[in-house]
Structure 1
Amino acid sequence: MPETLADPVNDLVLASARIPGGTALYDVHVAGGVVSRIAPAGTPGNPGTRVVELDGRYVIPGLWDEHVHMTQWALAANRIDLSGAASAGEAADVVRSHLSGPGFAEEGGGGLTVVGVGFRDAVWADVPSLELLDGATRGRPAALLSHDLHCVWLNSAAASRYGVAVDATGLLREEPAFDLTRELGRLPDAVVDAWVGESAQAAAARGIVGIVDFEMTWNRDVWLRRLAGGFGSFRVDAGVYPQDLDRAIAAGLRTGLEVPGGAGLLRVGPLKVLIDGSLNTRTAYCVDPYPHGGRGLLTVSEAELLELLVRARESGFVPAVHAIGDAANEVALDAFAAAGIAGRIEHAQFVRGQDFARFGELGLTASVQPAHALDDRDAADSNWAGRTDRAFPLRSLLAAGATLALGSDAPVAPLEPWSAMSAATTRARQDGRGPWHLEQALTRQEALTASTRGRGTVRAGDPADLVVLDGDPLAVSDAVFAAMPVAATLVAGRFTFRDGLKPA
């Protein structure tokens, strides 16, 4: 069982541990939630110190997912999975089959809205339509969320229930889609918090010790409620959106501030600013037009973005600018330069060759999601044909001096750090399909460093946020690395996950 926030913090020795890349055995001493020393195995600890025998397992710093929508990730686990649908027709059939199951026999518009997640219409040969989804749902309200959360496909009953206007496609995009997504998530707090707790425990079992949560809400109070209810699976940096910036400033918040009442696990995250759409919806703002026409959307003007970044600088917030298309990345870089502030660019999926160096020159972090390169490779090849050598450009960003921070964008990709690092290092799935632009791959050590907030390896003086592994992550096969066996996870010296480790 994981230890709780109420459990006392005791001194601890993780005995007979190995550091990746080596064979020597060490004892990792923990005191007051910090790694106090790393000594040769068998070095005596303080009297009464708890000892846990690792039997030669490997210890690394705890893993962070730098871009999560935590509530949406928990909700997705309890919704219809449409990720395998290869067409609009198949997606409608999945919903039809679901509604034919137990508990959905009644006709008409009563009951809860049926919600599906994960469709990818950018690679479908057919197109979504109101008529198609109406035919599959027998009058039951249905709303299907795209994998990137930038699009919602509704039937007529759901459009009526939520008072939104849709055309013959049944699609909402960008802000209207975000608004409806928030509305669909208005379930009882106790239900959502329980689902979040389950998803968080699963993440802790994979070595996650912290997330940056970009849920589109006033997130501080949500997490204070969860922590008061006993949540303790990992640390949370809770992002703030522009609509709440005045409220945050008035409350004295700034990025990195520990939130009172947060049990030492909750801090204020970055200021998240979305300035373009996504590749799947063909709304990512690009220099060149898409094959179907249009260059995507710039959803925040250059002047508005600069004003927000100046306010962030003056109020102590680190900006995190969502920019996917190459034109959007250019706009973001220009704004960072003009505002005289460093920060993060979220996604940086498509970058002009002449802009790479600016990431390093401006001291920016590229918050990237390696799994997207594999999930979206077909959409990229179709929409950015002939230019995908600079799509999902991890190696180019790192070589240019950017700081890389890996994440998932869950629920867009699973909150699974090892599959993200595998995607970054192999540029291929474990399904036999060949690598895609392998020249943009990272080494495993680079991927680990980008997943541990630059720590890379365990050092004395660091927080005792640690992961115990059953193999050397620098030496195991690609298949094992992608599904790395985790024996234990600790946050500030407390076990949040523990599988088979016994006291010495």
Structure 2
Amino acid sequence: MSGGLLLAGVRRVGAERTAEEPVEVLLQDGRISAIGLALDAAGVERVELDGRYLAPGMWDGHVHMGQWSAVSRRLDLSGAGSAAEAAALVRARVDAGWDSSEILLGYGFRDALWADAPDVESLEVGETAVALVSGDVHTVWSNRALLRRAGLPDDAWWLNEQPAFDLNARLSATDATTLDRWVADAARAAAARGVTGIVDLEMGGAVEAWERRIGEGLRTLRVKAGVYPADLERVRARRLRSGDPILGADGLGADGLGTVGWFKLFTDGALNSRTAWCVDAYPDGDGGHGLPSYPDAELRAVAREALAAGLIPTIHAIGDRALTQALDTFAALGIPADAPLAPRIEHAQLLRPGDAPRFAALGVQASVQPEHAMDDRDVADHHWAGRTDRAYAYRALLDAGAQLVLGSDAPVAPLDPWVTLSAAVTRTRDAREPWHPEQALPLPDALRASWGGVDGLRVGGLADLAILDADPHAVAPEALRTLPVHATVVAGARVG
């Protein structure tokens, strides 16, 4: 044997347990070529790991990478307990010195339980244009200076759903060179937490963006790049299908770092914005049920068009009525079990009784974000009162046979798989009582859902690995959130 990397003195972490005795693991040509003792590994780089813990690399199943990479450059409003507090944070930032030629962007506010209502007047800070994006990314709150700059009507100071997405895309636009530098920074930070792959559901152009980034040398993680309806014609014209490599020129072939992912569709909005489509009416306001994105027939038609082009749908569904619509759509599509990617539903935050078994019956994965339950527990207790026993019901989905995929929906929650894993296992943070602990996932199942469904390391598997300073099976559950990562390996090379 020649070339490669030998990881010596590692204890293997499996989904069920961690091996007690250290072994050597040989990585060659991007894969695990051998596991054992005193391996014949002449000519390879040997790395002594002194009894550390070796696990499959972590995946984040739902990321908006461009938005996540930009968030650290925005005003954090996640701690605002009212509209007045959010406005005060804006004024303080302007008073501290802000170039009024630049738009002041904020993110992370959650207004669903605010006692006061947002208004356009409270964001008036002279000539500075202000736009604030909600924590769920489904609402944008602006001032008049922003509306004038963006050429929007006076009543567009509060936007939900597609108009909010469109404005956010305009506000987030930057040149490709700058954005790619930010994304590279975010990818390095993710690698430092053991992330070896993401599903990037950035709202438009993800395939082309990752072709560019990987082609220019970004080798920090694997990416499955999503496709939106606005991308369909371009992707279809190139005859790209789900599972295809999007970077064929570098010779990586089917094991390339970038591949085409899912075709993203929506059925509804979000809980905080009260646009999640529900069977029961929201308790406040006009008794509305949320905002459906498509009539049933239209959703099926768009999904069929994508499927005919070889793109497997994933459907955003948060409210229980929306989730039923998404499952009905997959039932009508009849995607074969040998499709290159399994069909998915994103979020699945409120389950209608009887819908959980349909995931397994239809072969539909549940792509869920456990930290959202921690963010939303108080909002859900208010707006979904009497129904939270079936909200963020991960154990119910697991017990019904659904395949779970864990993720963050960054920037809605941090791109940190250990934050995600902790929320899934403990159903708590900040020393609060666990919220519906009956829906917590057992650690082995949460690990599988973070590792892409595998049970542990195997010869022939991809050499995408996380080297840990602690055994996840041995630490206290609350310590999972900050579990230390020593190094990360992608395609057999150290990246973090």
TM-score (normalizing by structure 2): 0.94
TM-superposed CA distance for 1:243, in Å, is 2.0
Residue 476 of structure 1 aligns with an amino acid whose one-letter code is: V
Number of equivalences: 478
Q: Deviations over 1:301-323 (max 9, x none)?
A: 11111112222332221110000
Whole-angstrom distance in 2 between the partners of 1:166 and 1:414: 34
User: Do the aligned partners of 1:224 and 1:261 also contact (CA within 8 Å) in 2?
Assistant: no
1:304 pairs with 282, 298, 302, which one? 298
Distance 1:127 1:261, change over 3 A: farther
Q: List gaps (5 residues or longer) in structure 2.
A: 336-341
**Superposition pairs for residues 401-480 of structure 1, below 5 Å?**
401-429=401-429, 431-480=430-479
Which residue number corresponds to residue 107 of structure 1? Answer: none
Query: How do residues 41-440 of structure 1 correspond to structure 2 at under 5 angstroms?
Result: 43-104=38-99, 110-134=100-124, 137-167=125-155, 170-259=157-246, 260-261=248-249, 264-292=256-284, 293-341=287-335, 343-429=343-429, 431-440=430-439
Matched residue type, 2:109: F
1:102 maps to amino acid:
G
* Native 8 Å contact 1:63 1:417 kept in 2: yes
Aligned-partner SS, 1:376: helix
Which residue identity does 2:11 align to in structure 1?
Answer: R
Q: Which moved more, 1:482-491 or 1:333-342?
A: 333-342
Instruction: Return the offset for 1:192.
Output: 1.6
Shift of 1:480: 2.5
CA distance in 2, matches of 1:468, 1:307: 45
Find the residue that maps to 1:303 and give its secondary structure: helix
Please give the root-mean-square deviation of Cα atoms over the aligned residues, in Å.
Answer: 1.4
Identity across the alignment (%):
50
Equivalent position amino acid for 1:317 in 2: L
Partner of residue 9, structure 2: 16
CA drift at 1:166: 4.3
Q: Is the 8 A contact 1:60 1:456 kept in 2?
A: no
Amino acid in the other structure paired with 2:34: R
The whole-number CA distance in structure 1 between the counterparts of 2:110 and 2:300 is 33
C-alpha contact 2:6 2:41 (8 A) present in aligned 1: no
> Structure 1 regions of 5+ residues with no counterpart?
1-8, 105-109, 498-504
Distance 1:487 1:336 in 2: 41
The residue number in structure 1 matching 2:339 is none
**Residue type of the partner of 2:150?**
Y
Per-residue CA deviation, residues 347-394 of structure 1 (Å, 9 max, x unaligned), is: 000011111111111011000000000000011001000110000010
Q: Distance in 2 between the 1:333 and 1:248 partners?
A: 25
Is this contact kept in 1: 2:10–2:24, CA < 8 A?
yes
Moved more, 189-198 or 277-286: 189-198
Q: Which amino acid aligns with 2:204?
A: T
Q: What does the per-residue CA deviation read over 1:418-455, in whole Å, with 9 as the maximum and x for residues that have no partner?
A: 000000000000x2111000000011111110011011
* Residues 88-121 of structure 1 deviation map (CA, whole Å, 9 limit, x = unaligned): 00000111111111344xxxxx411100000001
Q: Secondary structure at the match of 1:322?
A: strand
